[in-house]
Chain A
Amino acid sequence: MTAIASEPTGLAKTADTAQIERSGVLARDRVATEERLNHIQLLEAESIHIIREVVSEFQKPVMLYSIGKDSSVMLRLAQKAFYPAPIPFPLLHVDTGFKFREMIDFRDRYTAELGVKLLVWRNEEAIANGANPVQLGTQRCCGLLKTQALLDGLRAHGFDAAFGGARRDEEKSRAKERIFSFRDSAGQWDPKNQRPELWNLFNSRIGPGESIRVFPLSNWTELDIWHYIHLEKIPIVPLYLAKERKMLVRADSLIPVEQPFVKGLPGEEQWVKCRLRSLGCSPCTGAIRSDADTVPKIIAELVEMRNSERANRIIDHDQDGSMELKKREGYF
């Protein structure tokens, strides 16, 4: 069982049927008159406001698309923000070459289905030189394949505003970041000198070479994201759902076996029913043992969960404050 469509051909639909299909739970709640909006509706309204503000105030915005659950939600919000007009900016995927095959398949099919423009940027030089986390260590590998590639990609296209799907509840340096996060001309974040950000009045003024990262999902929690995916029936990469997968089993870690340099000792490679809680590069994103093969089951699992979603990311806890360091340098 996978989450990819069993009817990949029926992509085109008329406006009318699309409309009927979309009248999900949110739409019904909305019509239900005098009640106050629920927190999901409040979050949605806030995010749409942010996305529209950026498109109206910047010359050349782009949406960073990481293929994960947060990107999927952000993309849906962008569709809603401009409906009935199309999304007025391209998506940019920074590809390290180590993303899961299922992610790339999903990316290509889903963006084609939505008719959005997808740009892909890779640090080809580093990739050609064989950069990988085993050889370079996760920090340097990330620095080259993600941060450097992102900065180069943004600069090459001349984007002055980039949407990212980061949430404040993910990590404690992210909890500190503004919704409109100012970057100097080197793409760097200065956490000690952020612009005040009051109400929903965002300051979009920047000088030449400077840019803004924008986080429309800042106030969403992981649970809100899944809740919304469930309500809105948003397509997600099937890696999020549990199934039997071949994994390298080492102590508590389940390391996906996709890249040739990820090799286990005899007996370490096993079939395990598992899923990914957050999607990154296959060598650096651990899976968790799980039976959750539907979105509600993921939610059930999440509310019992005692560890944070990035606990399975190998890169984040290399050293104290490593996320902050990466962010200062320009990482998302």
Chain B
Amino acid sequence: MTQLNENAAAVLEPDETDLRIEERLAEERAKGLLRFSTAGSVDDGKSTLIGRLLYDSRNVYDDHVRAVTHNAEIDFAQLTDGLRAEREQGITIDVAYRFFSTAKRKFIIADTPGHEQYTRNMATGASTADVAIVLVDARKGILDQTRRHACIAALLGIPVVLAAINKMDLVGFSEEVFAEHSRALAALAKQLEIPDLHVVPVSALDGDNVVHRSERMPWYTGPSLLELLETVPLAIERSHAGLRLAVQRVLRPHQDFRGFAGQINAGTVRPGDEVVALPSGVRTRVRTITTWEGNLDVARVPQSVVLTLEDERDLSRGDMIAAADAQPHRTRRFTATVVWMQNKPLRAGATYLLKHTTQTVRAHVVAIHSRMNVERLEKSEAEQLELNDIGEVTLETTRPLMADLYRENRATGSLILINVETHATAGAGMIREIADATEGELYVSHATHGVLAVGNRAELASQLETLLLEAGALVLRTRASLSPALIAHARLGAFILVESDEQLPITLTPVHGAGVKPYELATEDADEILEAIQRLGAIPEGEDENDDGLGI
């Protein structure tokens, strides 16, 4: 062992405790992981329910319980309401993530706020959930906010909804009340196309049907909430879908290695698989799946890996490696369901930064088609989307996205919109409809336009010309000096190689913003220069300090 003594386990002979633990850890690893979030209106008892769930399943530490026990009574909501403001106001403001496990499964909980003002935090918690627990106060039934949350959960594609009719202790454990709310929930689930709904009567405060089945509601013979959580089917990983890997970063530790680092967004990959590099469309094969542990024979969603390809030109951050026979859409125009999260409303004509997989582009709001009326769960016409509104919007991007429909793949069908000025996350979108970029559309790889001055290095100019042509760029080679006319050509999508008779430094001028700022490159190696072109070319508009923020 060469590392700082690979910790003491390697030094001491394992004894009985060690072996017992080894077995136990193997069991841990065999358990499935379920992520769920809470939903419902303010004060319905979500945090109390989670506190109860943790407490009754013996997943809280004694010192944590002690800290929330006042006059011998445990305030269960305070086990998760971890902010001072939350404890002072008695409401949840932001999501709390809690972790627990039972003999059957491991769980990650997102306990979300019910208050309308914090709907975006509910969406945050729900976006990574496989199951939503929707709470309903037995005294109040379904409220607008219950509907809004259920609607967001459905739009986010959460397949399983467990509805907990809470505070049954306050309605005398009435079977009729439960039946009435159950019917209303079933109708709601049908309207929202939620495929899998289970309704359970509970008292979060007293623990009835949370972990243990209640004896106070003999008319209910179904499972407790925890039993349901332990048995609902786990989300199916999309390992049989076509491969998607959005390139996060190009790794180039030395001349002989160029790897594309990313998390597999869908599918499975093996060395030798035929893939397509997008947006260039170049077909190639996977050479290796490189990881720290060594090369792999197979990797699948959602592993983080590095791929090397047989032919590896023209791929940089934001590009995608996909199955050659099941490609994503390449699109600049699509319709998405957007949940709006900032005070300033969304209006047609506005521009935002849009982050999709690993690329950030500018997006223009072409039209707002509708807004969801939460009371009636109907779409109505709208001029704008206000804070917490949900609506259908058509967006157009400056550069193409490699996307799938959200319902086919969360990772390549989801996006966030960012306010260009405040940098706040303004909204979240799920792609519903895609207009493919037409075949005839002039398309120049985004990463390969700009102006490169190479001085008197004619050989380098020739090498670069070849590389850039291979990369799909429209190359103009000239001896004219850098002028507004040349910049204008580059803006239209050309890559301009400028030669001269002098021994000048090599400079690259990206042209996406309104300003132009030359970068001096410290290398004369054609491959490295190409990489710099792609890297600097990939800086989205608005990033450059000379940019006035207007874009082109």
Binding site for B on A (CB under 8 A): 1-8, 10-11, 13, 19-24, 26-27, 29-31, 33, 36-42, 44-46, 48-49, 52-53, 55-56, 79-86, 106, 109-110, 113, 168-169, 171-176, 178, 191-192, 194-201, 203, 205-207, 218-219, 221, 223, 227, 229-231, 233-236, 238, 241, 293-297, 299-300, 303, 305-308, 311, 317, 320-321, 324-325
Are A7 and B411 in contact, CB atoms less than 8 angstroms apart? no
Which of B17, B64, B249 is in CB contact (< 8 Å) with A296? B17
Q: Which of A168, A199, A303 has the most CB atoms of chain B within a 10 A radius of its CB? A: A199
Binding site for A on B (CB under 8 A): 1-12, 14, 17-18, 20-22, 24-25, 28-33, 61-64, 67, 79-85, 87, 93-99, 106, 108, 120-121, 123-124, 127-128, 234, 237, 239, 248-249, 251-253, 257, 259, 261-263, 290-294, 296-300, 302-304, 306, 317, 341, 353, 355-356, 358, 410-411, 414-416, 418, 423-425, 428
Are B8 and A82 in contact, CB atoms less than 8 angstroms apart? no
Having A172-B96, A296-B9, one finds 19 other A-B pairs with CB under 8 Å, namely: A1-B8, A3-B8, A5-B1, A5-B5, A36-B237, A55-B249, A83-B306, A85-B253, A106-B4, A172-B80, A172-B82, A175-B97, A176-B95, A192-B85, A195-B424, A233-B6, A295-B9, A299-B21, A299-B24
Which of A52, A200, A227 is in CB contact (< 8 Å) with B249? A52
Docked CA distance A38–B25 (Å): 11
Docked CA distance A84–B81 (Å): 43
Contacts of A45 in B (CB 8 A): 263, 302-304
3 nearest A-B pairs in the assembled complex, by CB-CB distance = A172-B82, A27-B293, A205-B423
Min distance, Cβ B517 to any Cβ of chain A, angstroms: 15
Are A196 and B121 in contact, CB atoms less than 8 angstroms apart? yes
Closest to B235 in A: A36
Min distance, Cβ A12 to any Cβ of chain B, angstroms: 8
Min distance, Cβ B530 to any Cβ of chain A, angstroms: 18
Q: Which of A13, A198, A206 has the most CB atoms of chain B within a 10 A radius of its CB? A: A198
Are A196 and B120 in contact, CB atoms less than 8 angstroms apart? yes
Are A53 and B248 in contact, CB atoms less than 8 angstroms apart? yes
Docked CA distance A56–B248 (Å): 7
Knowing A4-B5, A5-B5, A201-B416, the reply to whether A321 touches B291 (Cβ < 8 A) is: no
Q: Pull 16 A–B residue pairs with CB atoms less than 8 Å apart, ordered by A.
A: A1-B8, A3-B7, A4-B4, A37-B302, A52-B249, A84-B290, A172-B64, A194-B94, A199-B414, A200-B411, A223-B28, A236-B7, A294-B8, A311-B63, A321-B83, A324-B83
Min distance, Cβ A49 to any Cβ of chain B, angstroms: 4
Are B96 and A175 in contact, CB atoms less than 8 angstroms apart? yes
Which of A175, A229, A299, A306 is in CB contact (< 8 Å) with B82? A175
Contacts of A200 in B (CB 8 A): 128, 263, 411
Docked CA distance A41–B30 (Å): 11
Contacts of A5 in B (CB 8 A): 1-5
Which of A36, A168, A199 is in CB contact (< 8 Å) with B128? A199
Are A297 and B18 in contact, CB atoms less than 8 angstroms apart? yes
Docked CA distance A223–B303 (Å): 21
Contacts of B251 in A (CB 8 A): 82, 84-85
Are B127 and A219 in contact, CB atoms less than 8 angstroms apart? no
Are A195 and B317 in contact, CB atoms less than 8 angstroms apart? no
Are B2 and A307 in contact, CB atoms less than 8 angstroms apart? no
Knowing A308-B61, A308-B64, the reply to whether A30 touches B96 (Cβ < 8 A) is: no
Min distance, Cβ B72 to any Cβ of chain A, angstroms: 19
Are A7 and B358 in contact, CB atoms less than 8 angstroms apart? no
Q: Which of B82, B95, B108, B239 has the most CB atoms of chain A within a 10 A radius of its CB? A: B82
Knowing A191-B85, A196-B123, A199-B127, the reply to whether A296 touches B21 (Cβ < 8 A) is: yes
Docked CA distance A21–B300 (Å): 23
Contacts of A203 in B (CB 8 A): 355, 416, 418, 423, 425
Q: Which of B7, B93, B95, B296 has the most CB atoms of chain A within a 10 A radius of its CB? A: B7
Docked CA distance A45–B12 (Å): 31
Contacts of B6 in A (CB 8 A): 233-235
Docked CA distance A174–B108 (Å): 15
Are B7 and A229 in contact, CB atoms less than 8 angstroms apart? yes
Closest to B97 in A: A168
Knowing A168-B99, A198-B416, A241-B8, the reply to whether A84 touches B17 (Cβ < 8 A) is: no
Are A175 and B84 in contact, CB atoms less than 8 angstroms apart? no
Docked CA distance A19–B290 (Å): 11
Min distance, Cβ A211 to any Cβ of chain B, angstroms: 12
Contacts of A1 in B (CB 8 A): 8, 11-12
Docked CA distance A294–B94 (Å): 39
Are A297 and B17 in contact, CB atoms less than 8 angstroms apart? yes
Docked CA distance A249–B99 (Å): 34
Are B304 and A44 in contact, CB atoms less than 8 angstroms apart? yes
Are A227 and B7 in contact, CB atoms less than 8 angstroms apart? no
Docked CA distance A37–B247 (Å): 21
Are A198 and B29 in contact, CB atoms less than 8 angstroms apart? no
Min distance, Cβ A17 to any Cβ of chain B, angstroms: 8
Contacts of B411 in A (CB 8 A): 199-200
Knowing A5-B4, A175-B82, A203-B425, the reply to whether A169 touches B99 (Cβ < 8 A) is: yes
Contacts of B299 in A (CB 8 A): 30
Are B5 and A49 in contact, CB atoms less than 8 angstroms apart? no
Docked CA distance A84–B22 (Å): 30
Docked CA distance A178–B296 (Å): 32
Which of A31, A48, A205 is in CB contact (< 8 Å) with B418? A205
Closest to B342 in A: A196
Contacts of A206 in B (CB 8 A): 423
Knowing A172-B64, A199-B128, A203-B355, the reply to whether A84 touches B303 (Cβ < 8 A) is: no
